[in-house]
């Protein structure tokens, strides 16, 4: 751990998460495992890999960690086409080629300055390492782009950053392997600029949280450099029902106040449909579908009992009929 960096206590168990960028407002409840894993990852200076079922709050954990520590929250969602360099910087060769063609047209007002630096856009890891140089480069680029949203007007890079790399298992093995050097050294090269982006000494290392839905195995070299937290739904029906109702109360307290049995009834329906899905070897619905159903019940209003029977199939039964 860097001497000037104090580990967050995460002492507020329940936290309201404000809307930020594409992230909607929500609520999060830290449990003891999450707090221990977050503090251990930061103390070790290693990424925290969060595994588990879809909808168990893997991505939200990063948002909550940033809010709890009053840090900048950066996120990037990985897909099958993502490359490691996308997280560092992106060179828009297409825009440069288009400008070059237009510049050759007589009378065109297209810019004649085709220097590579004008087509390099900083990636999320650049912002996490060196906010000042990323903001400067964004101002230089012709491609455009938007700076990340700040948590508040008083934030400075010295307060730190939480970087979420979401669904890394969707990418080829080259992506996690390609991040190892940058994450380990706190620096990376930007060849089109002929420069190196390095984290200033007075800026703490970002807390990097990586999520995986286990769709693809991650490279052993990457796993060796991560701490791992696994979020799982309870297996026993009684424990699962209590867990679901507890999360339902957290997110939809008014629905629970008005209709105290609605959350338990929805949980019972989900548990039955999960058992059926496991038996048939098909997709198993989970917490995400349960919360979606409660959200609809709250918005529609009225007695949710009849609606549960009418709507639950849309949320819990996602396989085509045999």
In this structure, CATH architecture of domain 14-231: 3-Layer(aba) Sandwich (3.40)
| Beta-sheet strands, E only, within 119-223 | 120-122, 161-166, 187-190, 195-198, 207-212
pLDDT digits (tens, 9 = 90+) for 88-147: 999 887 777 777 777 666 766 656 567 778 889 999 999 999 999 999 999 888 777 789
- At 303 the three-state DSSP class reads coil
Tell me if 49 sits within 8 A of 59, measured CB to CB.
Answer: no
Whole-number pLDDT of residue 140: 86
Q: Residue 169 in contact with residue 213, Cβ under 8 Å?
A: yes
pLDDT digits (tens, 9 = 90+) for 24-79: 899 999 999 999 999 999 999 999 999 988 778 999 999 999 999 999 999 999 99
Nearest residue to 223 (alpha-carbon basis) of 236, 213, 241, 210: 210
Within its chain, how far is the Cα of 5 from the centroid? 23
Q: Which residues contact 265 (CB under 8 A, 6 or more apart)?
A: 304, 305, 308
- What is the per-residue pLDDT for 3? 42
Contact 197, 133 (CB under 8 A): yes
Q: What are phi and psi of 15, to 5 degrees?
A: -135, 130
Contact in structure between 263 and 249 (CB atoms under 8 Å): yes
Q: HSE, CB side, 13 Å, CA atoms: give it for residue 29.
A: 10
Domain boundaries, the chain: 14-231, 237-316
Task: Indicate the length of the chain as a whole number.
Answer: 322
Q: Beta strands of 64-216 (E only): which ranges?
A: 72-77, 89-91, 120-122, 161-166, 187-190, 195-198, 207-212
Question: Measured over all CA atoms, what is the biggest interatomic distance in the chain, rounded to whole angstroms?
Answer: 75
Q: State how far the Cα of 255 lies from the Cα of 149, in Å rounded to an integer.
A: 32
Which tokens is 86 given? Answer: 């996308």
Q: For 115, phi and psi rounded to 5 degrees?
A: -60, 135
The model's pLDDT over 150-180, given as tens digits with 9 standing for 90+, comes to 999 999 999 999 999 999 999 988 899 889 8
């Amino acid at each position: 751990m860097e001497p000037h960096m104090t580990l967050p206590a995460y002492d507020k168990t329940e936290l309201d998460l404000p809307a930020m960028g594409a992230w909607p407002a929500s609520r999060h409840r830290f449990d003891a495992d999450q707090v221990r894993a977050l503090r251990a990852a930061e103390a070790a200076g290693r990424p925290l890999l969060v595994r588990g079922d879809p909808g168990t709050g893997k991505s939200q954990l990063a948002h909550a960690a940033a809010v709890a520590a009053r840090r900048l929250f950066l996120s990037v969602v990985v897909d099958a086409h993502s490359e490691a360099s996308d997280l560092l910087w992106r060179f828009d060769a297409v825009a440069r080629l288009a400008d070059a063609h237009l510049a050759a047209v007589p009378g065109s007002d297209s810019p004649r300055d085709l220097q590579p630096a004008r087509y390099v856009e900083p990636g999320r890891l650049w912002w996490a390492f060196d906010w000042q140089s990323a903001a400067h480069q964004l101002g230089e680029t012709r491609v455009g782009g938007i700076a990340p949203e700040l948590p508040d007007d008083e934030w400075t890079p010295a307060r730190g950053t939480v970087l979420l790399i979401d669904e890394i298992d969707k990418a080829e093995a080259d992506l996690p392997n390609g991040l190892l050097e940058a994450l380990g050294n706190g620096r990376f090269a930007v060849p089109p600029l002929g420069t190196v982006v390095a984290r200033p000494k007075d800026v703490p290392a970002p807390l990097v949280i990586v999520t995986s839905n286990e769709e693809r195995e991650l490279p052993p070299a990457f796993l060796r450099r991560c701490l791992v937290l696994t979020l799982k739904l309870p297996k026993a029906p009684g424990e699962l029902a209590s867990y679901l109702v507890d999360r339902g109360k957290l997110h939809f307290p008014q629905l629970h106040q008005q209709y105290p049995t609605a959350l338990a009834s929805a949980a019972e329906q989900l548990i039955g449909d999960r058992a059926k899905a496991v038996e048939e070897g098909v997709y198993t619905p989970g917490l995400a579908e349960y919360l979606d159903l409660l959200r609809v019940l709250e918005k529609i209003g009225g007695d949710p009992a009849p609606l549960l029977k009418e709507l639950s199939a849309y949320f819990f039964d996602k396989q085509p009929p045999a």
